[in-house]
């Protein structure tokens, strides 16, 4: 059996502002932006087009979803993004206005730093040693 995670959803207030943040601030690629009528869209982004897993935006269109904006994992890291150079990506993203919780630091598994998206969801940017 061959299985993998294809998509992870993130609640967003507005599709276009989320697209702008993820592509311009984080440097992600827009993989899909398809309208289905009645305000519904299928919007997917990923760190690169070659990723097997992508993030799909879901518009927070109910009070329950709005309450969860930015807190899908409470104040814990929601997703981990792997990179081949954590400090390079940190410098580039910080220069584009991304909020980080500290600076990249050496850890037993490599180099990492935590940042947040425009809604407050936390991500871990990790450069692994030999993995």
- pLDDT-derived band of residue 131, with 50, 70 and 90 as boundaries? low
Encode burial over 32-46: b for 16+ CB neighbours within 10 A, e otherwise: eeeeeeeeebebbbb
- Could you tell me the residue ranges of all domains in the chain? 7-128
7-128: CATH topology is 2,3-Dihydroxybiphenyl 1,2-Dioxygenase; domain 1 (3.10.180)
- pLDDT-derived band of residue 127, with 50, 70 and 90 as boundaries? very high
CA dist 74 and 94 (Å) reads 23
pTM summary value: 0.92
pLDDT digits (tens, 9 = 90+) for 13-43: 999 999 999 999 999 999 999 998 887 899 9
The per-residue pLDDT for 40 is: 85
């Amino acid at each position: 059996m061959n299985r993998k995670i294809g998509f992870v959803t993130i609640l967003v207030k507005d599709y276009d502002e989320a697209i702008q943040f993820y592509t311009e601030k984080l440097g992600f690629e827009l993989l899909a932006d398809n309208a289905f009528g009645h305000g519904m869209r299928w919007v997917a982004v990923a760190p690169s087009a070659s990723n097997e897993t992508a993030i799909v935006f879901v518009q927070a269109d109910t009070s329950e979803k709005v309450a969860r904006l930015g807190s899908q994992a409470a104040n814990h890291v929601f997703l981990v993004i792997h990179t081949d150079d954590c400090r390079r990506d940190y410098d580039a993203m910080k220069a584009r206005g991304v909020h980080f919780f500290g600076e990249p630091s050496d850890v037993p598994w490599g180099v990492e730093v935590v940042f947040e998206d425009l809604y407050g969801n936390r991500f871990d940017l990790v450069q692994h040693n030999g993995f």
